[in-house]
């Protein structure tokens, strides 16, 4: 059975992906930051009638990443066959409205966290001469959207790092793909819109952004889960998989 690690599997796209891949017969290890999150994932799996393992992981903590990968190596045949780097946060807001701590947290989670886990998973995949890495990017990794600059910066950097890595590991048997969703109906999108900064010069623009998302009707996380499944089951996966870009760009 092929093993797949999915980071940030307690919610939204990560949880939908864990359930989808488990139902398709993969050995799933879903990561959670807290025991409550792990229990939530386990309960969702039980409700769906599928099996998966959970482990604790905070991708912003290098020790947590190392410990988690050591545990994963024990649970799998020397290391996971695939890694889905899904864990992420968004702090929407204009460049002038997002404080430095929040900006750093976005980059630390979405860029450095993903890089850390990729570096830990790669050696076993290289030794085996086989493996898949799936990076959860975004349409925001391709287009710099106003009012979401820090998130876009992290995802743009992730796209660049991944494209460089792909060329470096060409011929190794390890494939790396980028998933680039538009608006997806998850807590990230809905909470982000609820907690936009208040009392700033950008309030009219924030209201327009809320209207755009409401008008466009976000897709469900299952669409992304099925796309991840495509990247893991294709004999040779595509470099990038775009989902719902037109709606997210207001076209
Ligand atoms: P959710 O907020 O629903 O889920 C995010 C997941 O990431 C949660 O499981 C969360 O865990 C986990 N997470 C956050 N920080 C960390 C951390 N430091 N270490 C480990 N896990 C962490 O968001 P989505 O499902 O929407 O997002 C998943 C991915 O999809 C992200 O990378 C996001 O950028 C990307 N994406 C989302 C889009 C959307 O419109 N929703 C569009 C394009 C891309 P916890 O439960 O502990 O908070």
pLDDT digits (tens, 9 = 90+) for 41-76: 999 999 999 999 999 999 999 999 999 999 999 999
Q: Taking all residues of the chain, what is their mean pLDDT, rounded to a whole number?
A: 97
Query: 246: pLDDT confidence band, cut at 50, 70 and 90?
Result: confident
Q: Tens of pLDDT along 119-163?
A: 999 999 999 999 999 999 999 999 999 999 999 999 999 999 999
C-alpha span between 126 and 119 (Å, rounded): 11
C-alpha span between 142 and 151 (Å, rounded): 11
Rounded (5°) CA angle 28-31-34: 145
* Residue 56 near residue 64 (C-beta atoms within 8 A): yes
Exposure string (b/e) for 133-144, b if CB count within 10 Å is 16 or more? bbbbbbbbbbee
| Residue 216 structure tokens | 């466009």
Q: Is the C-beta atom of 138 inside 6 A of ligand 1?
A: yes
pLDDT value, residue 184:
96
Q: Where are the alpha helices (DSSP H) in 4-141?
A: 12-23, 35-48, 62-75, 100-107, 114-128
Nearest-CA residue for atom 46 of ligand 1: 10
Query: 236: pLDDT confidence band, cut at 50, 70 and 90?
Result: very high
Exposure string (b/e) for 39-50, b if CB count within 10 Å is 16 or more? ebbbebbeeeeb
Work out the percent of the chain whose per-residue pLDDT is above 70.
100
**Neighbour count for residue 192 (Cβ, 10 Å):** 19
Q: Is the C-beta atom of 57 inside 6 A of ligand 1?
A: yes
Give the Å distance between the CA of 106 and the centre of ligand 1: 11
What's the domain range around 38?
3-244
- Give yes or no for residue 230 having a pLDDT over 90: yes
State which ligand 1 atom lies nearest to the alpha carbon of 15: 9
- Give yes or no for residue 251 having a pLDDT over 80: no
List beta partners, residue 241: 179
In a domain, 46, yes or no: yes
Q: Is the C-beta atom of 12 inside 6 A of ligand 1?
A: yes
- Give yes or no for residue 248 having a pLDDT over 90: no
Give the Å distance between the CA of 45 and the centre of ligand 1: 18
Sheet strands (E) in the chain? 3-6, 27-32, 53-56, 82-85, 131-136, 174-181, 240-243
In a domain, 250, yes or no: no
In a domain, 30, yes or no: yes
CATH code assigned at 190: 3.40.50.720
In a domain, 251, yes or no: no
Query: 117: pLDDT confidence band, cut at 50, 70 and 90?
Result: very high
Exposure string (b/e) for 61-79, b if CB count within 10 Å is 16 or more? eeebbeebbeebbeebeeb
- Give yes or no for residue 217 having a pLDDT over 90: no
Out of 151, 202, 206, 241, pick the active-site residue. Answer: 151
Nearest-CA residue for atom 32 of ligand 1: 88
In a domain, 91, yes or no: yes
State which ligand 1 atom lies nearest to the alpha carbon of 181: 43
Establish whether 151 is a catalytic residue.
Answer: yes
In a domain, 192, yes or no: yes
Give the Å distance between the CA of 186 and the centre of ligand 1: 9
In a domain, 76, yes or no: yes
In a domain, 112, yes or no: yes
Q: Tens of pLDDT along 219-229?
A: 999 999 999 99
**Neighbour count for residue 228 (Cβ, 10 Å):** 27
Q: Tens of pLDDT along 170-191?
A: 999 999 999 999 999 999 999 9
Query: 208: pLDDT confidence band, cut at 50, 70 and 90?
Result: very high
Over residues 95-110, the mean pLDDT reads: 98
Rounded (5°) CA angle 34-13-196: 80
Domain count, the chain: 1
């Amino acid at each position: 059975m092929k093993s797949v690690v999915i980071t940030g599997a307690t919610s939204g796209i990560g949880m939908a992906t864990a359930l989808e891949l488990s139902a398709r017969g993969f050995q799933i290890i879903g990561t959670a930051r807290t025991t409550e999150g792990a229990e939530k994932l386990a309960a969702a799996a039980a409700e769906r009638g599928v099996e998966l393992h959970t482990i604790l992981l905070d991708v912003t903590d290098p020790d947590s990443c190392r410990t988690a990968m050591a545990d994963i190596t024990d649970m799998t045949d020397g290391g996971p066959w695939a890694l889905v780097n899904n864990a992420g946060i968004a702090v929407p807001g204009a460049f002038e409205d997002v404080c430095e701590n929040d900006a750093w947290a976005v980059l630390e989670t979405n860029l450095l966290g993903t890089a850390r886990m990729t570096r830990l998973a790669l050696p076993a995949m290289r030794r085996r001469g086989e493996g898949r890495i799936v990076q959860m990017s975004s349409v925001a990794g391709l287009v710099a959207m106003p009012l979401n600059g820090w998130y876009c910066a992290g995802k743009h950097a992730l796209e660049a790092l991944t494209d460089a890595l792909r060329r470096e590991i060409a011929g190794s048997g390890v494939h790396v793909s980028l998933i680039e969703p538009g608006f997806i109906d998850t807590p990230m999108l809905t909470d982000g819109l609820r907690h936009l900064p208040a009392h700033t010069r950008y309030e009219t623009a924030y209201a327009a952004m809320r209207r755009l998302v409401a008008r466009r009707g976000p897709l469900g996380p299952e669409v992304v889960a099925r796309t991840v499944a495509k990247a893991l089951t294709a004999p040779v996966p595509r470099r990038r998989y775009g989902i719902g870009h037109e709606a997210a760009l207001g076209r």
